[in-house]
């Protein structure tokens, strides 16, 4: 489609946007007597207006029913997490048995590695990308040490030969092939948090399996951002948080996927707790652990209902909006941002996210040319002008127009403001 750099053109795209009404379902932060330009849904998503009621209802049921709330009330707590299962499965392209919401992202990564990273002296390496999100690297390195191996030897960090331009999937595949039988686990992001690059998970999973390695993905920046087909892609496991694109609130309960192939792999080692025990016999309180089939078998504790309530509210919004339709809008919304930046600010701003829309989600990472202190100043001035984006050292501004609640006018006004700030910054 051809774009035009004009406010009335952006307004026209908003008028004809079939998903436009979803913005009204969210609390948009205020700026002066209007609304902020909120491009930070990749860090903390906005609050759906239904969230408060969902939390309040659980507080009321707790007050009214106390312990009986486990079995009575609007949404009994004992099976509460099951209310989320099918919606979560649709979101990531999974069968219901393959998903569960529990813990937080890094905790789930540890639980998955406890089962799926089983190094031997011959096969002990873990492949991550250089510049991985620190928590993932800490988790991987600590798991390697936990098994008595040395991260200097066992942690393989893939660097891009083209600097910040992202990783070439041919190169990644070649490294997987050359690591071969030394490789135990490929642990890569669905969307890289810094560059915004989307990885070809189907291809990487095939490459990992071809050398006998496990394929695990961190979907922190992919869940709620891209349509996913984890089951068909044959991914072994995946973990994600629900407070970024998933809008389930700060520190939200996280997601976890375990492929159906492993649903009955009861011989796998796992760090067990009573909530992973077969629910039919859990309350016989027997000493032997009998895991439930599927992802639920990795649950450890009974879930925090007050924290699951916002996730339920959010999943209902995603279910209604539909990931395929969101992606369609997202391609156009981010495409419009890219168009305006190229049209107006090509000298001052370098887009380091891949130019191919198939290789990115909604986020564009922008390198501000000039000194670091100037780049930092530009970020601060944008904030003062009512733009919430995200700053990453040393000189990158991450902006994420989110199709659920951002508009084409947001995009247009953002570029206006950035142009203003750039022309006046020293």
Ligand X SMILES: *Cc1c(COP(=O)(O)O)cnc(C)c1O
Where does this chain touch ligand X (CB under 6 A) — which range of 78-86, 208-216, 218-226, 258-266? 218-226
CB count within 10 Å of CB 256 equals 26
Q: Which of 23, 110, 124, 221 binds ligand X (CB under 6 A)?
A: 221
DSSP string of 302-370, one letter each residue: ---HHHHHHHHHHHHHHHHH-HHHHHHHHHHHHHHHHHHHHHHHTTTEEE-S-SSGGGB-S-EEEEEPS
DSSP 253: P
Say how far apart CA 378 and CA 25 lie, in whole Å. Answer: 31
Q: Which of 38, 77, 80, 133 binds ligand X (CB under 6 A)?
A: 133
Nearer to ligand X, 246 or 326 (CB): 246
Site for ligand X in 356-385 (CB under 6 A): none
Nearer to ligand X, 246 or 312 (CB): 246
Looking at the DSSP bridge assignments, the partners of residue 198 are: 191
Helical (H) or strand (E) element with 407: none
Nearer to ligand X, 105 or 156 (CB): 105
User: Taking Cα atoms as reference points, which of 299, 234, 298, 238 lies closest to residue 261?
Assistant: 234
Where does this chain touch ligand X (CB under 6 A) — which range of 131-139, 290-298, 350-358, 404-412? 131-139
Q: Is 189 in the site for ligand X (CB under 6 A)?
A: yes
Q: Which of 136, 179, 338, 390 binds ligand X (CB under 6 A)?
A: 136
Least distance in angstroms from the C-beta of 103 to ligand X: 8
Where does this chain touch ligand X (CB under 6 A) — which range of 48-56, 129-137, 298-306, 309-317? 129-137
Q: Is 135 in the site for ligand X (CB under 6 A)?
A: yes
In this structure, are residues 263 and 293 in contact, taking their beta carbons and an 8 Å threshold?
yes
Site for ligand X in 227-266 (CB under 6 A): 241
Sign of torsion over alpha carbons 277, 280, 285, 287: negative
CB-based contacts of 337, cutoff 8 Å, min separation 6: 364, 399, 401, 411, 414, 415
Q: Would strands 214-218 and 237-240 be described as parallel, antiparallel, or unpaired?
A: parallel
Q: Which of 100, 105, 311, 422 binds ligand X (CB under 6 A)?
A: 105
Q: Which of 58, 61, 129, 218 binds ligand X (CB under 6 A)?
A: 218
Q: Which of 3, 50, 82, 104 binds ligand X (CB under 6 A)?
A: 104
In this structure, are residues 395 and 355 in contact, taking their beta carbons and an 8 Å threshold?
no
Q: Is 338 in the site for ligand X (CB under 6 A)?
A: no
- From residue 210, alpha-carbon distances to 47, 106, 196, 387 in Å are 42, 27, 27, 46
Least distance in angstroms from the C-beta of 134 to ligand X: 8
Nearer to ligand X, 58 or 136 (CB): 136
In this structure, are residues 384 and 351 in contact, taking their beta carbons and an 8 Å threshold?
no
Looking at the DSSP bridge assignments, the partners of residue 129 are: 158
Least distance in angstroms from the C-beta of 45 to ligand X: 12
Least distance in angstroms from the C-beta of 108 to ligand X: 8
User: Taking Cα atoms as reference points, which of 42, 10, 1 lies closest to residue 362?
Assistant: 42
Nearer to ligand X, 36 or 136 (CB): 136
Q: Is 220 in the site for ligand X (CB under 6 A)?
A: yes
Where does this chain touch ligand X (CB under 6 A) — which range of 100-108, 119-127, 149-157, 361-369? 100-108
Q: Is 50 in the site for ligand X (CB under 6 A)?
A: no
Nearer to ligand X, 199 or 405 (CB): 199
Three-state DSSP state, 240: strand
Judged by the rule CB under 6 A, the positions of this chain that interact with ligand X are 104-106, 133, 135-136, 189, 193, 218, 220-221, 241
């Amino acid at each position: 489609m051809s774009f035009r750099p004009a406010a009335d053109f952006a307004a026209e795209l908003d008028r004809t946007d079939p998903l436009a009404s979803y913005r009204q379902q969210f609390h948009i932060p205020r700026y002066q007597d209007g609304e902020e330009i909120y491009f930070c849904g990749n860090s903390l998503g906005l609050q759906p207006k239904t969230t408060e009621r969902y939390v309040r209802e659980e507080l009321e049921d707790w007050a009214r029913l106390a312990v009986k709330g486990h079995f009575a009330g609007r949404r009994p707590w004992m099976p509460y997490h099951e209310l989320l299962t099918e919606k979560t499965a649709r979101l990531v392209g999974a069968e219901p048995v393959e998903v569960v919401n529990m813990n937080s992202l890094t905790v789930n990564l540890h639980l998955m590695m406890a089962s799926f990273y089983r190094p031997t002296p011959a096969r002990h390496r873990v492949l991550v990308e250089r510049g991985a999100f620190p928590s993932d690297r800490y988790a991987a390195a600590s798991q390697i040490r936990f098994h008595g191996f040395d991260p200097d030897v066992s942690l393989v960090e893939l660097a891009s030969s083209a600097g910040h331009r992202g990783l070439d999937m041919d190169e990644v595949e070649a490294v997987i092939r050359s690591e071969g039988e030394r490789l135990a686990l490929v642990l890569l992001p669905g969307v890289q948090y810094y560059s915004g690059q989307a990885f070809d998970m189907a291809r990487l999973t095939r490459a990992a399996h071809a050398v006998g390695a496990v394929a695990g993905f961190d979907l922190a920046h992919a869940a709620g951002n891209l349509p996913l087909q984890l089951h068909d892609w044959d991914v072994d496991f995946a973990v994600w948080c629900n407070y970024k694109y998933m809008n389930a609130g700060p520190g939200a309960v996280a997601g976890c996927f375990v492929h159906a192939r492993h649903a009955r792999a009861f011989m796998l080692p796992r760090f067990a707790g009573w909530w992973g025990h077969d629910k039919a016999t859990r309350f016989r309180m027997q000493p032997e652990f009998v895991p439930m089939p599927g992802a639920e078998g990795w649950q450890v504790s009974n879930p925090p209902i007050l924290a699951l309530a916002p996730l339920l509210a959010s999943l209902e919004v995603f279910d209604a909006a539909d990931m395929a339709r969101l992606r369609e809008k997202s391609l156009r919304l981010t495409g419009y941002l890219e168009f305006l930046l190229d049209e107006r600010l090509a000298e001052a701003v370098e887009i380091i996210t891949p130019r191919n829309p198939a290789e990115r989600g909604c986020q564009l990472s922008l390198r501000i040319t000039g000194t670091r202190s100037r780049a930092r100043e530009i970020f601060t001035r944008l904030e003062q002008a009512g733009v919430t984006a995200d700053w990453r050292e040393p000189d990158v501004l991450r902006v994420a127009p989110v199709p659920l609640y951002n508009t084409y006018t947001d995009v247009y006004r953002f570029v206006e403001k950035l142009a203003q700030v750039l022309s006046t910054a020293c």
